[in-house]
Structure 1
Amino acid sequence: MDIRALRPPDQDPWPVFTHHPPISSEGVAGARSWTGLTYGFVRSFRPMTLDLHVPADVPGPVPLVVWIHGGGWTEGDRRYVPLQWPQQVLFEKVVAAEMAVATLDYRLLAEAPFPACVHDCVAAIRYLRRYADELSLDPHRVGIWGESAGAHLASLVAFVGSQQDDGHRLLGSVGVGEGPVDVAAAVLFYGPAEMGWLADGAADEEVRGGLGGDLAVVRDLSPVTQVHPGIPPVLLMHGRDDGMVPATESELLHQALREAGVDSTLEIIDGADHCFIGTPIEPHLDRAVAFLGQHLQGSVS
């Protein structure tokens, strides 16, 4: 099966996923791709890897967009976007806009508790900056984009990485271990803003166990508590009918960002559930790519 033919199951509710069928792909159109780059080793864990797709016919260095997948911090794969979306299209839209896109795997909560997944996302950015010359990337023009749990991780990277605090507990020292983490723009699709529910029993056992017994980390993990005036421009997009992460989460974060003087844009999509189900997907992807292009290279060609 080609990756573009991948679709959600017909059953409702979906069965528990145990595997995907054999999937092939001709790659991301218009890109030179590196697959399975190991951006970090942590003893006793699998290597952390990412894929990178760089526009093939655009003189470098080019801007970089880092994509972080969702999945409730308990599942997900760097190679796939939500099954309701057309596969590969997000990556190809970024490449067509003359920007590179990196898509990364990170440790899930059954592998390591919070904030390991944040440390991994930080490590990926440091790695890509360390090897920017070899990869034809511009280390000064980096944006970040995530959906759901990936938006949560993207917001923490963008907010904490712009604090200029190398010792912050959310940064960690995975991979190359040091280097700037700040980004020039962030796109957050329907992510949580406040994580107090992790400690009050509202989360399922697997996610709650991701605290590793450290209730104090909950405050750090709440993006709204990491807001400060130095955050780069942010685009928040959320379905008004989201039944998994209420749209009020993005509204809360947007308000906090605006009060701090951050350039924040909030777009609530009528008729859209989680993953923007119920509305056409590609216009939302186009909006995000245009926003990133505006802030990373001035315009989208």
Structure 2
Amino acid sequence: MFFKLKDDRIYESMVTTPLSVADIAFGEIGWALLRGVAAATGFLAIVSVLGYVESPWILLALPGAVLIGFCFAAIGLAVTTWLRTMQDFQLIQLVMLPMFLFATTFYPVTVYPEPVRILVKCLPLYHGIELLRGPALGDLHPGLLLSAGYLLALGGGGRLRGPAEARTSADVVTGTRPGRGAGEPTDEELVRNSRVGKVPPPHARTPDRVEYRDVVYAEIDGYRPLMLDLTVPAAASAPVPLLIWIHGGAWRRGSPRVGESWLGVADPVGAAVAAGYAVATVQYRFSGEAHYPAQRDDVRAAVATLRGLAPEAGLDPGRFGAWGESAGGHLAAVLGLDRRDAGPESRVQAVVAWYAPSDLAAFDRAPGSPEGRLLGPAARQDEAARLAGPLAHVSAQAPPTLLVHGDADPLVPCDQSRRFAAALTGAGATAELVVVPGAGHCFDGADLREPVRLSLDFFDRHL
């Protein structure tokens, strides 16, 4: 659920359909209950075969297990909406371990001092154990009704909390569209930007930065509003250069909020702000929502909107850099090099692409592959696949480009960046290639801080 919410952003996409937040909550809880019923039924069958059943009342343990599953699934659903990073899972362990140790899993509650006993009886796991232990031993008593009511109330509260992050998106979408259209968007619907947004009140302000959240940069009929977050140095005395961060995720998932992703440990946004840059992290339509070139058009629209907001936000419109990783690196490079039907308002002055595909024609374009999902019907056409990659648009007019790639990348071969860098250099453009020895995709096995440093140094020299 955490990855669906924070990484894949599945809930965010789901609420752009007729599904409601309540539908999502009931769906997740229902799926958890189906798994729990299957496990409980199997366990009950096994202990029966082994002769460990002491009372026919043990059959009541099955609905008891369902109630326990409902309670913990609903609580888990609620807790997930509060988590921000993978490190937050340590807090869950901090709660679960004492509850597991003290909730009469190993010792009866009577062995504890009275204050501890009272605390233990407030734990949901204690009531779950009581609800199963009584029927299993044939010991039915009124306290079981208390335990059942406790778990039902707790689960109901968790269910009402629901996927709150998805609710935020639902509030934005409500009234915008009743559901996704059946066909692809028309040319008119693919306009780069239907309206230039306003800088909202700051979401957060610290001594070193000002953060603006959920700036709407495009509203395309039939789709969710596309948003970006903008972070600006707080003490800048003059307009600052802007870096546009484009996240990866095989063009079909991912989050633009870098601090909530695996990159949070390297904190590229914080490093960029400390170096004097503003940073915009942008959404784009996933391949499950629209086929390419929708994604290219989206990031163009983001740049155009940010350039329009430059005077109000304190940005230097002549110093914009695109920075992306994996699928986002592909879009950053396309943004810089593919200028077909593009106006000057969407131009960037430098590009940094990490482990990015540059030639989509060289990949498997089967219907279920990332490239096949991105291109849709055009995946069967070699020329369309070629033109969807930045390698096809190399020229002497390309902005300065830095390519960083691990030589052990199993998903996007390092040769993609090697060929791209050679083509740029051969065309007379400025290009640099940094190969990270032994690093896999997402720089797996390498220090993430070094690519961040190299990237900011490159932007320092070219913006």
The question of a shared fold, defined as TM-score above 0.5 by the shorter chain, is answered with yes
Question: Does residue 262 of structure 1 match 2:429?
Answer: yes
Question: Does residue 44 of structure 1 match 2:222?
Answer: yes
What is the aligned partner in structure 2 of residue 274 from structure 1? 441
**Bigger fraction of residues in strand:** 1
Which of 339, 353, 357 pairs up with 1:188?
353
Question: Does residue 246 of structure 1 match 2:407?
Answer: no
For the residues of structure 2 that align with 1:292 and 1:144, how far apart are their CA atoms? 10
Deviation at 1:222, TM superposition (A): 1.6
Which of 452, 458, 462 pairs up with 1:285?
452
Deviation at 1:279, TM superposition (A): 1.1
CA contact (8 A) 1:41 1:48 kept: yes
Q: Secondary structure at the match of 2:460?
A: helix
What is the aligned partner in structure 2 of residue 62 from structure 1? 240
Q: Secondary structure at the match of 2:338?
A: helix
Equivalences for residues 117-128 of structure 1 within 5 A:
117-128=295-306
Bigger Cα Rg? 2
For the residues of structure 2 that align with 1:45 and 1:212, how far apart are their CA atoms? 18
For the residues of structure 2 that align with 1:255 and 1:207, how far apart are their CA atoms? 23
Equivalences for residues 158-177 of structure 1 within 5 A:
158-161=336-339, 165=340, 167=341, 171=342
Consecutive unaligned residues in structure 2, runs of 5 or more: 1-81, 91-161, 166-202
Percent of counterpart pairs with the same letter? 34
Q: Secondary structure at the match of 2:372?
A: helix
Deviation at 1:204, TM superposition (A): 2.6
For the residues of structure 1 that align with 2:308 and 2:393, how far apart are their CA atoms? 26
Higher relative contact order (CA 8 A, sep 6+): 1
What is the aligned partner in structure 1 of residue 375 from structure 2? 211
What is the aligned partner in structure 2 of residue 16 from structure 1? none
Question: Does residue 115 of structure 1 match 2:293?
Answer: yes
Question: Does residue 101 of structure 1 match 2:268?
Answer: no
**Bigger fraction of residues in helix:** 2
RMSD across aligned C-alpha pairs, in angstroms?
A: 2.6
For the residues of structure 2 that align with 1:127 and 1:88, how far apart are their CA atoms? 28
CA contact (8 A) 2:258 2:269 kept: no
Amino acid at match of 1:294: R
Compute the TM-score of the two structures, normalised by the length of structure 2.
0.55
Compute the TM-score of the two structures, normalised by the length of structure 1.
0.82
Consecutive unaligned residues in structure 1, runs of 5 or more: 10-18, 172-177, 297-301
Residues 103 and 20 (structure 1), Cα distance of their counterparts in 2 relative to 1, 3 Å cut:
farther
Residues 7 and 287 (structure 1), Cα distance of their counterparts in 2 relative to 1, 3 Å cut:
farther
What is the aligned partner in structure 1 of residue 46 from structure 2? none
Deviation at 1:205, TM superposition (A): 4.7
Q: How many residues align?
A: 271
Deviation at 1:3, TM superposition (A): 3.7
- My pick for the range that moved more, 200-209 or 232-241, is 200-209
Deviation at 1:217, TM superposition (A): 2.9
How far does the alpha carbon of each residue in 1:117-150 deviate from its partner, in whole angstroms, 9 at most, with x for none? 1100000000001111011001001111000000
Amino acid at match of 1:287: L
How far does the alpha carbon of each residue in 1:206-254 deviate from its partner, in whole angstroms, 9 at most, with x for none? 6414323233531221211110100111111000111110101000101
